[in-house]
Amino acid sequence: MPHCIVEHSSFINASELNNKVFLGALESNLFEPDGKDIKVRSIAYEHYQTGSEREDFIHITVRILSGRTEEDKLKLSKAIMCQLESLQLVGMSLTVEIVDIERSSYSKRVV
């Protein structure tokens, strides 16, 4: 059920990046084995500032339903980071953040 939100510098290939994030979430073995519940979407930024020098970046926010252990969250974060590192990008910031979605206030309907 994870919602993987990918924010990145505009020069990065979004399709390849989204696939790497998907593979990382899948390889964590925390979700459906076929990945049908993993959702990945990305936003490319043309205009951004990173400190006093403009540096390229990839930031992944993964929203998951609350109740996972800290170990599971770390496993997910590391699996996605490993996939990002396989892109062999140089001179940029790579970050992954795991965020709980509170079950008590989350609503979902497929129409």
Alpha-carbon dihedral of residues 79, 80, 83, 89, nearest 10 degrees? -130
**CATH class of the 3-105 domain in this structure:** alpha beta
HSE-up (13 A, CA, CB side) for residue 109 = 1
Q: What is the pLDDT of residues 7-41, one digit of tens each?
A: 999 999 999 999 999 999 999 999 999 999 999 99
pTM, two decimal places: 0.94
Give pLDDT tens digits for 65-94: 999 999 999 999 999 999 999 999 998 999
- Residue ranges of domains in the chain: 3-105
Reported as a single tens digit per residue, the pLDDT across 43-64 is 999 999 988 888 999 999 999 9
